[in-house]
Amino acid sequence: MPRKSRPLERSDGAFRDSSIVVIACEDTHAVKQYFAKFRARRVQFRVLETDDGRSSPAAVIARLNKYCVDEQIGDEDELWMCIDADHWIRGNHQRELSQVLQECRNKGYGIAISNPCFEVWLLLHFIDVGDGLLSEMLGHASDQSITKAERSSIRCDKFESRLRAVAGGYNKSNVSRLSIEVSQVLEAIERARLLDDATSDVPICPGTRVYKLIDTLQQRDSIELG
């Protein structure tokens, strides 16, 4: 992706000495409120949330593209898409998602996709999301094997319900109320990494690659967790 010179801070006209991490997401509250929990160090966060109902992968990447046109992007800046696989991996929607993910790769955008939804990432802060939990969600006996089709059939409401149970309540519009400690973020990173077989554009269900975004920020010593 072509880079422009380091932008000026609009407030004082001085060159900024921090990088920008731009995260375009498909929801209105959850992602923005989650990243507000982090203390930024030498980095500015810009979460481009959906506020007009346009939440398709194509609409999300259009938001990122527009930001690149409107703002000056430097070599140290990072641009990410944070989206849910949800129904976009089914039927006629698959083609749009595939095209958007390819455009992300071509332009150097990071991809933090969750399958089926961002709540998987949040839930990993509190518990393992393994076969035991999935069996319970599916109503299986504990020793019954789980097929790939059955994994893919588990919808977002199941993860939202479990998050409400283990986190003392959960509301998509009020993620800021979730109590999350540093140790829980680190656990979520490792749990998500273990779930990710990294063999396809979209992680298997349940799975999330939000950990890749957090990993990148840690490696750059850009944020303090907690």
In this structure, are residues 115 and 57 in contact, taking their beta carbons and an 8 Å threshold?
Answer: no
Average pLDDT over residues 135-153: 88
Closest to 22 (Cα-Cα) out of 66, 84, 85, 87: 66
145 Cβ neighbours under 8 A, 6+ residues apart: none
Is-contact 224 214, C-beta < 8 A? no
Longest dimension (CA), the chain: 64
Stretch 73-81: mean pLDDT, rounded? 89
Residues whose CB is less than 8 angstroms from the CB of residue 201 and which lie 6 or more positions away in sequence, other chains included: 98, 101, 111, 113
Q: Judge if the upstream peptide bond of residue 2 is cis by omega within 30 degrees of 0.
A: no
Q: Classify residue 212 by its DSSP letter.
A: H
Q: How confident is the model at residue 6 (pLDDT cuts 50, 70, 90)?
A: very low
- pTM across the whole model: 0.88
Is the pLDDT at 32 greater than 50, yes or no? Answer: yes
Report pLDDT digits (tens) over 94-134: 899 999 999 999 999 999 999 999 999 999 999 999 888 99
**Span 157-208, pLDDT tens digits:** 999 999 999 998 888 888 988 999 889 999 999 999 999 988 899 999 999 9
Helix and strand numbers (H, E) in the chain are 9, 7
With a cut of 70, say whether residue 84 has pLDDT above it.
yes
Using a pLDDT cut of 90, give the percent of the chain over it: 53
Residue 218 has pLDDT above 70, yes or no: yes
Alpha helices in the chain (DSSP H): 30-35, 57-70, 93-107, 118-123, 131-138, 148-153, 156-166, 182-195, 210-219
The C-alpha atoms of residue 193 and residue 209 are separated, in whole angstroms, by 8
Segments making up each domain of the chain, as ranges: 19-224
Looking at this protein, which amino acid is placed at residue 32? K
Confidence of residue 17 (pLDDT cuts 50, 70, 90): low
With 0-12 CB in 10 A as exposed, 13-18 as middle and 19+ as buried, what is 2? Answer: exposed
Provide the CA 128 distance to its chain's centre, in angstroms. 18
| Residue 208 φ/ψ, nearest 5 degrees | -160, 145
The model's confidence at residue 4, banded by pLDDT at 50, 70 and 90, is very low
Question: CB–CB of 21/46 below 8 Å?
Answer: yes
